[in-house]
Each structure stands twice: as structure tokens, then as C-alpha cells.
């Protein structure tokens, strides 16, 4: 029996650039739309006693010949113990035999594939000349989203608003260095989303943070934060004005930003323009006018994890990286 390779977060990072993650996520959405992917329902475990939750996302992708399982957690008291609040492990198995091939840190992969998904959506939904980005939230994913957008757009300015000012100030100083452009902490959500081309929302919010009247014509919105029942960042009436694109309709109607507009009857499922994969394979169109408002509802899919971890696995194998261990 062959051995399984164990890859640490550091090794994973060295094997996955943002541009490769963008390519992998693009392939993931195309494979999904072509029906070459099987994704069972996400398992959700609530560990209320320790303010934690665990999601298990799994599936298989014929194009990559892989079965993938990601166990991802959010434990919100971990930082008090000096531990990361989000942890993930990914297990890849051969699709033909189920033999385990690789076990790797999935924390970084989750972060980078989510950033990549936002950039991929913006590439077909935002105006090509988008220069200014408004970000709500100042955590890891608020960083990833903008780093990935920078790969595809000639960004000139980023404004960031966070509920705690220390967070947005730290973000501004760190990200202005990393991006080499102006990154400004602003004092209201309204200011962050005014006079920008792309709005990115990346918070754990459960109520409206962005009002409809603040959103100007021609703007693209990446709605990243809402990925569980009850989570919400946008005034649901924005959905009535926007061309809505989702990663997976099946997921977004339950756990995405659109859950609220749907349950309030402001939109119907048929008002959702497309799943992003349908645009990427050319079956549907992305942005068609300068003035339309576009919105991408991102909930995160196992197929993105499998595609990104496959890039890591292939490159690590080529480089002879990781620990080989006998499991079976």
C-alpha cells in the first residue's frame, strides 16, 4: 500500500500562489456547472459549550480524479488561548479506489480559495476599469479578497471600515505596504462603500450593514460574509436592483446573503441571474452595461477546496515535499 503525504500549513502556502488559486477556483466552478462534481450536503456541528462550530464539506470531482473532505472549524475563544479561531484539515482520496493520497492543512486553502472566488466573480461582473475597493471587515478574509482582486484589477485605492477601529487601522497600515497603494481606514460603512467600483463585505454579521441607497450605479458587490442561516450584511432591497450571481444556488438560498431577500419575498429564485460557473463556461453573460449593479453571493464550496488542494498535492509531489507516512 502506498503512503499518504502529510502537508503542513507552511508547505501548503509554498505550493499555492494566489494566481494558481484563481485558476483552480475557475476550473472548480466550470467542473461544477458541467456536472462533473458530486457534492453532498454540508454537515454542521455546533459545539455551543465552547463557542465553536465545525463544518464538514465533501465531494468528488471527476476531472481531478479525487474525493475530498474538509473538516473546518470556527472556535471563537481560541485567540484567547493563542490559537487560531479557524482551523481546517483536508483529506484527499483517489476517486477510483478511495486510497488516501494526502492530508493537509486546509486553513490557508480555505482563506485563499475564498479570496480567489471573489476575484473570479469580479473578473466577469465588475467593470474592467475598477480601481477603488470598499471593504467592510478587517480580518484574514478581508485581506485575501483584496489581494486576489489586485491580481486581476489595477487597483488604486482601498477603503476599509471595521466595527473596531484598531482592526481597520492595522489593516490599513499592513495592506498599504503589501499592495503598494493607498489603503485608508474610514469611520463609517457608508464612507467605505461610497465612490468605489467594488464593494466587499467580509464580516460575521447577522444584520444589515450596507444600506441600499449607499450603493451607486455600476458597482459590483462581493457578498462574502453570509455563509450560514441568519447571517446577513446587505439591505435585502439591494437584491431588487442587482444582477445576482451565486456560487451554488442550492447553498445560497439556504445560507447565503440572498436567503433574506428570498424569505421576505423581495426576489424569487428565478431572479438569480446565474451560478458563476455558467458565466465562466459562456452559457450566460456577466456584466453587460456600465451602469448595472452586480452582486456575487459566496458561500464556499467543497469543489473549490478540492481544486485548490489538488494544486498543492500535485506540486508537493513533484517537489518531494511533505511527510510520507504509512496509514493503512
Check residue 41 for interaction with a copy of itself (CB under 8 A): yes
Give SS3 for 198. strand
String of contacts with a copy of itself for each residue 307-326, x by CB under 8 A:
----------------x-xx
Report in angstroms how near the CB of residue 3 gets to a copy of itself at its nearest.
Answer: 10
Q: Is 70 a catalytic residue?
A: yes
Element (H, E) at 242: strand 242-246
Half-sphere exposure of 8 (CA within 13 A, CB side): 5
Q: Indicate which residue of 70, 150, 159, 231 is catalytic.
A: 70
Q: Where are the alpha helices (DSSP H) in the chain?
A: 9-14, 18-33, 107-125, 140-152, 165-179, 189-193, 238-241, 249-255, 258-263, 276-280, 302-319
Q: 31, 303 in Cβ contact below 8 A?
A: yes
Which member of 14, 36, 56, 253 binds a copy of itself (CB under 8 A)? 56
Site for a copy of itself in 69-88 (CB under 8 A): 69, 71, 73, 75, 78, 81, 83-84, 87
Task: Report the distance separating Cα 22 and Cα 55, nearest Å.
Answer: 23
Q: Which is nearer to a copy of itself, 68 or 286 (CB)?
A: 68
Could you tell me the CA-to-CA distances from 293 to 58, 90, 282 in Å, in that order?
33, 36, 20
Identify the residue among 166, 180, 283, 327 touching a copy of itself (CB under 8 A): 327
CB nearer to a copy of itself: pick between 59 and 118: 59
DSSP conformational letter for 278: H
Return the DSSP state at 205.
-
Q: Distances from the Cα of 51 to the Cαs of 46, 70, 173, 255, in angstroms?
A: 8, 20, 31, 20
Figure out which of the listed residues 89, 211, 315, 321 binds a copy of itself, where binding follows CB under 8 A.
Answer: 89
What is residue 262's three-state secondary structure? helix
305 binds a copy of itself (CB under 8 A): no
- Furthest-apart CA atoms within the chain: distance in Å: 61
Binder among 35, 97, 270, 320 for a copy of itself (CB under 8 A) = 97
Q: Does the footprint of a copy of itself cover residue 66 (CB under 8 A)? A: no
Task: Supply the DSSP symbol for 78.
Answer: G
Residues pairing with 206 in the sheet: 232
- Please give the Cα distance from 30 to 129 (Å, whole number): 25
Asked if 105 is part of the footprint of a copy of itself (rule: CB under 8 A), the reply reads yes
**CA 48 to chain CA centroid, nearest Å:** 25
CB of 277 to a copy of itself, least distance (A): 20
The least CB distance from residue 229 to a copy of itself, in Å, is 15
Q: Is 162 in the site for a copy of itself (CB under 8 A)?
A: no
How are the residues of the chain apportioned to helix, strand and coil, as percentages rounded to the nearest 5?
40, 30, 30
Piece of 36-44, 132-140, 197-205, 233-241 that binds a copy of itself (CB under 8 A): 36-44
Specify the stretch interacting with a copy of itself by CB under 8 A; choose among 67-75, 140-148, 190-198, 217-225: 67-75
The secondary structure of residue 216, as a DSSP letter, is: P
Interface with a copy of itself (CB under 8 A), residue from 20, 52, 315, 321: 52
Closer Cβ to a copy of itself, 197 or 227, answer by number: 227
Q: Does the footprint of a copy of itself cover residue 102 (CB under 8 A)? A: no
Beta carbons within 10 angstroms of residue 246's beta carbon: 25
Residues binding a copy of itself: number (CB under 8 A)? 50
Residue numbers at the binding site for a copy of itself (CB under 8 A): 1, 6, 8-10, 38, 40-41, 43-47, 49-50, 52, 54, 56, 58-60, 62, 67, 69, 71, 73, 75, 78, 81, 83-84, 87, 89, 91, 93, 95-100, 103-105, 107, 323, 325-328
Active site residues: 70
Amino acid at each position: 500500500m502506498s503512503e499518504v503525504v502529510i502537508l503542513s500549513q507552511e508547505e501548503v502556502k509554498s505550493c499555492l500562489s494566489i494566481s494558481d488559486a484563481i485558476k483552480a477556483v475557475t476550473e472548480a466552478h466550470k467542473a461544477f456547472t458541467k456536472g462533473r462534481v458530486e457534492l453532498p450536503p454540508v454537515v454542521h456541528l455546533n459545539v455551543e459549550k465552547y463557542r465553536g462550530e465545525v463544518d464538514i464539506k465533501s465531494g468528488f470531482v471527476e476531472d481531478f480524479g479525487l474525493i475530498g473532505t474538509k473538516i473546518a472549524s470556527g472556535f471563537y475563544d481560541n485567540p484567547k488561548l493563542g490559537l487560531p479561531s479557524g482551523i481546517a484539515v483536508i483529506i484527499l482520496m483517489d476517486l477510483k479506489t478511495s486510497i488516501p493520497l494526502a492530508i493537509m492543512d486546509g486553513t490557508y486553502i480555505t482563506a485563499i480559495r475564498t479570496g480567489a472566488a471573489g476575484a473570479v466573480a469580479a473578473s466577469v461582473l465588475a467593470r474592467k476599469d475598477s480601481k477603488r475597493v470598499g471593504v467592510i471587515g478587517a480580518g484574514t478574509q478581508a485581506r485575501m479578497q483584496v489581494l486576489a482582486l489586485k491580481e486581476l484589477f489595477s487597483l488604486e485605492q482601498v477603503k476599509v471600515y471595521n466595527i473596531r477601529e484598531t482592526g481597520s487601522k492595522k489593516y490599513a497600515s499592513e495592506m498599504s505596504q503589501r499592495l503598494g497603494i493607498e489603503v485608508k481606514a474610514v469611520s463609517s460603512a457608508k464612507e467605505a462603500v461610497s465612490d468605489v467600483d467594488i464593494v466587499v463585505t467580509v464580516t460575521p454579521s447577522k444584520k444589515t450593514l450596507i444600506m441600499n441607497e449607499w450603493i451607486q450605479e455600476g458597482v459590483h458587490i462581493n457578498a462574502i460574509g453570509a455563509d450560514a442561516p441568519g447571517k446577513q450584511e446587505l439591505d435585502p432591497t439591494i437584491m431588487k436592483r442587482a444582477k445576482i450571481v451565486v456560487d451554488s444556488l442550492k447553498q445560497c438560498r439556504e445560507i447565503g446573503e440572498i436567503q433574506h431577500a428570498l424569505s421576505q419575498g423581495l426576489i424569487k429564485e428565478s431572479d438569480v441571474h446565474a451560478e458563476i460557473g455558467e458565466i465562466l463556461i459562456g452559457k450566460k453573460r456577466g456584466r453587460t452595461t456600465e451602469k448595472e449593479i452586480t452582486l456575487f453571493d459566496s458561500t464556499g464550496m467543497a469543489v473549490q477546496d478540492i481544486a485548490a488542494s489538488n494544486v498543492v498535492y500535485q506540486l508537493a509531489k513533484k517537489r518531494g515535499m511533505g511527510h510520507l507516512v504509512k496509514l493503512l
